[in-house]
């Protein structure tokens, strides 16, 4: 579209970064771990030197991690902290650092949330909580920044198949971390077989997710470039339907529906198995 894009990536030498370089001459790949304040400051200086007094038109906070499906009782606190750090706190920091440039251009902020921010998804409490925090941040900043001419949009997609589901190495690491963090009482009640089976739910979740990412990309482009961007985008078949059902369905019925839809595991906790 002729727009200059600064693409922050976790590994500037990785395969994904190389694919981005081949996309367009207008795209510049930058090393950016959003949880690393030094890298954020370095990228900020680099962009400032290029845009000058014109400012920056758009900031897209797209970095996110999912971890793996796990009961709240079994989720390591370190995993919760990591979710909050990447999915929420890093977005707060990026907004704070880049807002002076965005104000100059009277530009846009686009935050990538999730349907899990508004629909209580069993096994994804840490992830959902971090995305809910990001959603609240977006709504608050939309009101605060309107007087400055800066628009804030929130994208709240349903399930799409991306690298967020991790690799086989990630799944093995999650399994080891959950087993190590679980108390002896929890391991006895849930059983090591059940706990060990939890990370495999990522594979099932990935298979159920849509492969075509164009609805998310189209909404992102609309949020950035439309004269009248929406405050909220809900790409994906279930993006609006499941939140609607959650709002209007009796709680007991919805709990049955959501537990059925999010059953990624055939193994049951040891303490719940029938003899």
- Residue among 142, 149, 52 nearest 106 (CA): 149
Q: Where are the alpha helices (DSSP H) in 52-148?
A: 77-84, 90-105, 125-145
What residues are annotated to the active site? 127
Q: Taking CA 18 as the corner, what is the angle to CA 12 and CA 21, rounded to the nearest 5 degrees?
A: 100
Contact 202, 124 (CB under 8 A): no
- DSSP per-residue string spanning 8-22: EES-TTSHHHHHHHT
Q: Which tokens sit at 78?
A: 């370190």
Contact 113, 64 (CB under 8 A): no
């Amino acid at each position: 579209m002729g727009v200059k894009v600064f693409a922050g990536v976790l590994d500037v030498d990785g395969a994904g970064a190389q694919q981005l370089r081949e996309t367009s001459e207008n795209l510049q790949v930058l090393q950016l771990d959003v949880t690393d304040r030094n890298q954020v400051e370095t990228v900020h200086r680099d962009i400032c030197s290029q845009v000058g007094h014109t400012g920056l038109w758009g900031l897209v906070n797209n970095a996110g991690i999912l971890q793996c499906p796990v009961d709240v009782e079994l989720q390591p606190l370190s995993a919760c902290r990591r979710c909050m750090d990447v999915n929420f706190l890093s977005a707060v920091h990026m907004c704070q650092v880049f807002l002076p440039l965005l104000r100059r251009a009277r530009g846009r902020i686009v935050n990538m949330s999730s349907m899990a921010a508004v629909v209580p998804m069993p096994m994804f409490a840490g992830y959902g909580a971090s995305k809910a925090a990001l959603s609240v941040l977006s709504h608050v900043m939309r009101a605060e920044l309107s007087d400055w001419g800066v628009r804030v949009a929130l994208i709240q997609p349903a399930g799409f198949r991306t690298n967020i589901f991790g690799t086989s190495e990630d799944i093995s690491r999650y399994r080891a971390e959950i087993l190590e963090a679980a108390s002896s009482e929890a391991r006895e009640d849930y059983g090591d077989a059940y706990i060990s089976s939890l990370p495999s739910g990522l594979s099932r979740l990935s298979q159920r997710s849509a492969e075509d990412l164009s609805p998310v990309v189209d909404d992102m482009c609309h949020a950035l470039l439309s004269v009248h961007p929406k405050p909220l985008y809900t790409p994906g078949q279930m993006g609006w339907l499941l939140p609607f059902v959650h709002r209007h369905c009796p709680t007991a019925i919805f709990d049955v529906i959501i537990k059925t839809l999010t059953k990624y595991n055939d193994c049951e906790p040891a303490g719940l198995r029938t003899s």
